[in-house]
Chain A
Amino acid sequence: MKTFLNLVLLAALAVSASAAEVKLLNVSYDPTRELYTEYNAAFAKYWQAKTGDTVTVSQSHGGSGKQAQGVINGLDADVVTLALAYDIDAIASQSHLLPADWQKRLPHNSTPYTSTIVFLVRKGNPKGIKDWNDVVKKGVSVVVPNPKTSGGARWAYLAAYAYALEKNNHDDAAARSFITKLYKNVPVLDSGARGATVTFAKNGIGDVLLAWENEAHLALKEFGADNFEIVTPSLSILAEPPVALVDKNAKRHHTTEVATEYLKYLYSDAAQEIAAKNFYRPRNEAVAAKYAGNFTQLKLVTLDAEFGSWANAQKTHFADGGVFDQIYQSQ
């Protein structure tokens, strides 16, 4: 009997000591597929070396706003890595899956990398597009996704608006006129950044794509540098895509520890290098210096400085009945 009990105890210990298989779901925005594919592999390696556990991270991508709504509606994300803080705020306020002060939990307001909005034009830049004022010219066809559903599109909209404010002594009416002209040049609105890239690069629509910097570089790689070129405007916006643990989902899945570490590891040197290689501007200064050649220097305004806050920008420009609805529906 004693021998039997010992065997049972040993078996129990063996089971408890064996490596676990952990699954995470990262709900992200449209253009981060390649970044997180590479990062997930690196993190899995890191986590296995640290704990012996195998972690498999599933990815879900789409327009940032749509993705946030998906999580609110029950998409079982352990972590969200979205295009802008407002979308994660929406998850916190509407579903209470994470605390309202989620952004304070990680460095740099929980944004481990940044990006900006640039132009992708056809090779030779046949329409001579060099800055935002070229984009609003009559006869220029502009491709950009729908700011109602796409985080990148909201950044692009705000970048153009900030440029107009800057050029017009912060005259809001002039900026509004500028943005109206811009969207009059938009023939079709995709729901996400990747869809807009397909519209421009694969379907041959438009003269210029207002794109995430990393997405523009990816388009060069995917569709050929001999077909397109990147134009950096004189001014753009500092886009800060944040990341957050979805506390209640992770707790329910018993993945809080690994999911938290998954996000923290984004700030590691290795992860910052992966971000830089994928044309996301790293927060780590040393890595940023190492990959400085990947990123053109330009004037970057911040959302807080130009628009106060995401809540304010959302309410004024993108909420139902906001400026975007007024200028786009009136076409």
Chain B
Amino acid sequence: MKTTKLKQLIIAAAVGTQFALPLFAADGTATSTNGTATAEISAAPVAADNSAQEAEIKTLKEQVEALVQKVNALAQKPASAESVATISDLDQKVRILQRQREIDQDAATAKSATAPKVSLGQNGFSFSSADTNFVLQLHAVLQFDSRTYFHDDNAKGVDGFLLRRARPILSGTVARDFEYNFTPDFGGSQVQIVDAYTIYHGAPEFQVQAGKFKSPVGLEALQSDVNTSFNERSLATDLVPNRDLGLALKGDLYGGAASYAVGIFNGVSDYNGTATNTFSQNSKAAVARLFFQPWKNSDVNALRGFGFGVAGSYENDQPTTNATTGLTPGYMTDGQQKFFTYNKNVDASGVHWRLSPQTYYYYGPFGLLGEYVISDQHVSNYAVGGSKNVDVHNTAWEISGSWLLTGEDASYSGITPRKNFDPRLNQWGAWQLVARYANLSVDDDAFKGASATTSLANPTTSADNAQAFAFGLNWYLNKNVRANLSFSHTTFSGYAGSKFAAGSVPSEAENVLFTRIQLAF
């Protein structure tokens, strides 16, 4: 094999030389296409050159002939059987090694295709089967707050630090189509299960959710805890249910241009979420929500982030135990102080319905969110001579706006900084200004009665109306870490003819400075 290759090489060199010779001659002579000289161009000096060239050609011819002889000699010399066998063996070994490598690569590819996948990143830890039908994700939310109350005569809000939320979140899917979420909360005064649900994803248009999860009514309430503009949700959220136990059918239609949710729940009172696994009444709450984003998939950039909808609930509150009243534990200020509560001996006594038109608009760095809520509930005071089956019609609304100073896109579902915080690279994350106005109005009928104790609520300790203005600055260091600073000012007005008792929450305006360090992944 080696001699054959060598022979080929030498013959190629010889042939190449022979073909090259006429080209060399072309410097001094014109040549026909077959390479023979056809005419002399110059006189004596040319003749001298020609003789030199002829000598050179002769020398080259001799060299070529010598090479040809050598080639012929090599060609006639038989390769030994031993060397042929060795070369053949080597050739086989090389082929086998190459093939083994291919097989190993195929095996490695096949193995990696069936191996479980583990990933860690800004979206948390994720473990999944090779076909991704089974996924286990670990996320966490940690919110470390401070609240500082001003001009409060040290009587009401207590200044200090607060672990607002401390939630490990286990989520994922089983058997491809079944999503699950289990979220306990170690923040606050007691550990509780915040979310525990499963969702069957038959199709984007058809999903069934069961367990404990957010009742689909309030727009701000439905926004993730890590994405709200302020530390605390607004007065409007006081009138919507929080998390509840139930079953919901939901889905996205037309690529998310429309979405719906209908469900049946145990039913919870305003601003309340169930903290237990028990329920207090036989009747259940029906909840429905429709939300539209008509331009979500269009090319109209200015309208792509516009959404609007309406949500509502209906239930017949008739608590069957004395342990619960079926009423709100109290409407809260931004500073989480109760400015309205019902009197003792007051229970829900009939139909409770809510209605909430809602909208948001996001365009570039600008964001706007607004909602209006009506919570209408039949309430009775069972004290002697108390008001009976009064239809209490409470309303609230809010509007909040945001502007990302660093130009990122605002969104209902969170902000991703263009440049993560890294002072070494002179990068400072994303900065956002936020402002909000909210108002909550309690029905005057809640305060009517022969006395403060026989009415539904005490007008000297509960406000008839609260309005809050808040503004703040949010700093997104990266997608996982965020710092908030905000100030909230809330004022109260009382029922006509009544004065707030000294020391009561609504007796003076609430001024609170909030800070938060949030870590979420």
Contact = CB atoms under 8 A, between A and B. Distances in A.
Interface of A: 73-74, 141, 187-191, 195, 199, 203-205
Contacts of B99: 188, 199, 203, 205
Contacts of B133: 74
A191 B95 contact: no
Max chain B C-beta neighbours (<10 A), residue from A74, A190, A205: A205
Contacts of B131: 74
A191 B107 contact: yes
Contacts of B107: 191
A141 B131 CA distance: 39
B134 to A, nearest CB: 11
B106 A205 contact: no
A203 B95 contact: yes
Nearest to A204: B95
B82 to A, nearest CB: 14
Interface in B81-105: 92, 95-96, 98-100, 103
A221 to B, nearest CB: 22
Interface string B121-159: 000000000010100000000000000000000000000
Nearest to A205: B95
Contacts of B100: 187-188
A191 B96 contact: no
B96 A205 contact: yes
Given A74-B133, A141-B92, A191 B98 contact: no
A191 B133 CA distance: 26
Contacts of B96: 187-188, 205
Contact of B98 (A74, A189, A203): A203
A141 B133 CA distance: 44
A302 B276 CA distance: 68
- Of all A-B residue pairs in the complex, the 5 with the closest CB atoms, nearest first, are A187-B96, A205-B95, A203-B99, A188-B100, A199-B99
Given A74-B131, A74-B133, A205 B92 contact: yes
Given A74-B131, A74-B133, A203-B98, A195 B92 contact: no
A126 to B, nearest CB: 11
A204 B94 CA distance: 11
Contacts of B106: 191, 195
Contacts of B110: 191
A43 B505 CA distance: 82
A188 B103 contact: yes
A141 B96 CA distance: 11
A189 B106 CA distance: 12
19 contacts: A73-B114, A74-B131, A74-B133, A141-B92, A187-B100, A188-B96, A188-B99, A188-B100, A188-B103, A189-B103, A191-B103, A191-B107, A191-B110, A195-B103, A195-B106, A199-B99, A203-B95, A203-B98, A205-B99
A70 B106 CA distance: 16
Contacts of A74: 131, 133
A205 B100 CA distance: 11
A73 B99 CA distance: 29
Given A195-B106, A199-B99, 18 more contacts: A74-B131, A74-B133, A187-B92, A187-B96, A188-B96, A188-B103, A189-B103, A190-B103, A191-B103, A191-B106, A191-B107, A191-B110, A203-B98, A203-B99, A204-B95, A205-B92, A205-B95, A205-B96
Nearest to B107: A191
A141 B95 CA distance: 12
A193 to B, nearest CB: 14
B176 to A, nearest CB: 9
A195 B110 CA distance: 14
A127 B369 CA distance: 84
B318 to A, nearest CB: 44
Max chain B C-beta neighbours (<10 A), residue from A188, A190, A191, A195: A188
